[in-house]
Structure 1
Amino acid sequence: MRAWQDEEKKLKDRNSVRKGRSSRHLRTPYDVLEQLLMEGPLQTSVHVCHENGRWMSKLPEKLWDIPLYNLSLPGSHDTMTYCLDKNSAVSGNESKLVEILNKFMPCIVRPIIMKWSITQVLTVTEQLEAGVRYLDFRIAHKANDPSMNLYFVHMVYTTVVVQDILWEVLKWLETHPQEVVILACRNFDGLNKKLHCHLIACIKEIFQCKLCPRNVVPTLRTMWQHGYQVIVSYEEDVEVEKHCELWPAIPYWWGNRTSTHALIQYLERMKRMGRPEKFFVAGINLTENLRYILLHPFGSLKDMTLRSLPCLKIWVRQQYPGAQKECINIIAGDFIGNDDFVRDVIELNTKINPPLDCHSKAAGTNNISFSAL
């Protein structure tokens, strides 16, 4: 337990430095109150398994001709919340009540907002190195901001701009030439046509020939042969139609549940209804509501998530990738550096036993069988 606490302390110190404020130098009553409210009773370690940084390149050849939407891929929910700006305005998507309370009682409301908004603590590079291959980008433009700067958002805006993170992803991909990343661009709070054009132009400029067109069947063999490493899902149909490099919005199974049991029931019900034909996400992230927050005044989304992991781990390990009705594809979660979530999702691919003729164009999509682990 002592070792876990030491690792957690190191992580907190590192994040404090990133945000330009060390926990050893609390200068104002606001900082002191924020420190008290943000600290929760549950401590755990966060570790990055660097062996997962090149897991796609290490998959057996029998899986190279199976479309990525029939493989099991780890994802992070609300990828960019590790760098939320505690001093930013509340997103325009939030309720007026939250905005009013934050305006008149910021020293109380803002720490509460922060501890229920942060879903990740690893940077985007650390998440990729940990094995995450689906990044959930909630993109927004700040109200009354005359610039073209775009940010990520979850209740509040991030300290970093979207363009810088896209360059960071590219830098990682250049050192991992056989890994493929899915960027799910969503939300688009405050984006008009001009800003959409700006964002898409940035995506094209940064990734260039690494972008996989949506008319390609994205198997690993095909991606490697053409040098494709990025699939961009864009949640704006009008823009998707204009650009062959953009893929349609990827469905996300969001349970919107506060209990693990209810979330698993929801996911099982969605499976019985049948999986989408191509990419889709099963979200194993719990979601708080006002009643839950009031009943857990000293809790946080992190506490809520970590307590659910043992049960969710069992559910994840029972899943199968593939094209059949009840198969899964992307599984996304919060605080992905905790527990063995990423490893468990990757290892689901060992259950796939493709037919011998999977090298043919039609193979692997309708006749995948499963073998026990």
Structure 2
Amino acid sequence: MASYRRIESDPSNLADWMALLPESLTSAPLRHLAIPGSHASFSCTVTHFNDIAPDSSFLVRTLGHLSCCLGKERIYQWNRTQDLSVKQQLTSGIRYFDVQVSARTRNGDFRVVCGLFGDELSACMKEIKVFLDHHDKEVIIFDINQFYEMNDVLHMKLLSIITHCFDDKLCPYNKDSDVSLESLWNRGQQVIVIYHHDIIQEYENFWPGSSVVYHPDSCAETPEDLIFQLEKNFDNDQERVHFECGRAVVSLSNRKCLMRLSSSRKQEISRTVAPVISSWLKDACRTRTKLNIIVVDFIHLLNFVQHVVNLNTAEGADVYDVHANGKTTL
């Protein structure tokens, strides 16, 4: 079996980092792995030429309409959280996708949103499927956690589109069992879709929103407050339901954005947040802190993916018991 050293020495192997993990980790529950993710993953498809989306606040929508092109340019600069394309995120090692979606018409036209409308969700999913077809041991967690302008009929249509796209790659939900990379490989499954709506009780291939717990549970407005909350939550060492997601994201208020119109979210993140998160991840690697999913803005601003992947095989890291907490690994 390929050794982890290959991942460390050759960053290009991050496209296949799951396949290169040691057997002690591929047989462990996914909730025991450190998994890199991107915040508002598909905001990379948003442009300032697109219409204002319903996830924007009333104040932002009003200012955007009043100042037209200039207003949408500001919304774009302060809401976009990723520069890398979907394909680039995948090849860089991102395995958790944070998704917000809105229906543009009564018949569907499901678009990703992040202040402004982005591409069709189906286009983003097709890029993921193409990647998975060529990397058959990589596994994606697809977390659709915000919906806008949707009713039950539209939810059913969206679930049908997702099912048609990923088909037998979808991993069914089983609340009494964990899944490991090996168990998924054996069944040819590569996609876990977490869908935050009660309608999925009728769909066995979709995981409920209760499958993931988010940290911190309140918005952090400074990097220091963010790290304090993340450490507090992860140090609780509570039994994980399935996944634990640390959102290493600082909340930027509308007031702060208005006061710094000439700046952008990317500039603020690169200047104040990215260095603090990078240092925290390095410390977590040294202290063997057990983290699960970690998501950030602008994944390329720091060696984020490599830091998170390194957490899995840090020197002296514990080998997890796959039957921990009385759960079996399918």
Scaled by the length of structure 1, the TM-score of the pair is: 0.77
Please tell me the root mean square deviation across aligned C-alpha atoms, in Å: 2.3
Q: 1 CA distance for matches of 2:280 and 2:60?
A: 35
Alignment of 1:1-373 (within 5 A): 49-142=11-104, 145-158=105-118, 160-215=119-174, 217-236=178-197, 238-249=198-209, 250-254=212-216, 255-275=218-238, 276-307=240-271, 308-319=273-284, 327-351=290-314, 352-354=317-319, 358=321, 362=323
Indicate the structure with greater helix content: 2
- Cα deviation for residue 318 of structure 1 reads 2.8
Q: Is the 8 A contact 1:284 1:332 kept in 2?
A: yes
Distance change (3 Å), C-alpha of 1:313 and 1:194: same
Q: 1 CA distance for matches of 2:324 and 2:229?
A: 31
Q: 2 CA distance for matches of 1:165 and 1:365?
A: 37
Task: Supply the AA of the counterpart residue of 2:283.
Answer: Q
Q: 1 CA distance for matches of 2:81 and 2:326?
A: 34
- In structure 2, runs of 5+ residues without a counterpart are 1-9
Q: Is the 8 A contact 2:285 2:307 kept in 1?
A: no
Q: 2 CA distance for matches of 1:312 and 1:365?
A: 34
SS at match of 2:97: strand
Q: Deviations over 1:64-104 (max 9, x none)?
A: 21101111000000001111132333222333222222222
Count of paired positions: 308
Q: Deviations over 1:23-76 (max 9, x none)?
A: xxxxxxxxxxxxxxxxxxxxxxxxx94320000000011112110111100000
- Cα deviation for residue 336 of structure 1 reads 0.7
Stretches of 4+ aligned residues off by more than 3 angstroms: 272-276, 363-366
- Cα deviation for residue 207 of structure 1 reads 1.1
SS at match of 2:250: coil
Scaled by the length of structure 2, the TM-score of the pair is: 0.87
Which of the two has higher C-alpha Rg?
A: 1
Task: Supply the AA of the counterpart residue of 1:287.
Answer: S
Identity of aligned residues (%): 28
Identify which range, 48-57 or 340-349, moves more after superposition.
Answer: 48-57
SS at match of 1:280: strand
Q: 2 CA distance for matches of 1:314 and 1:102?
A: 37
Indicate the structure with greater strand content: 2
Q: Is the 8 A contact 1:66 1:365 kept in 2?
A: no
Q: 2 CA distance for matches of 1:280 and 1:209?
A: 25
SS at match of 1:319: helix
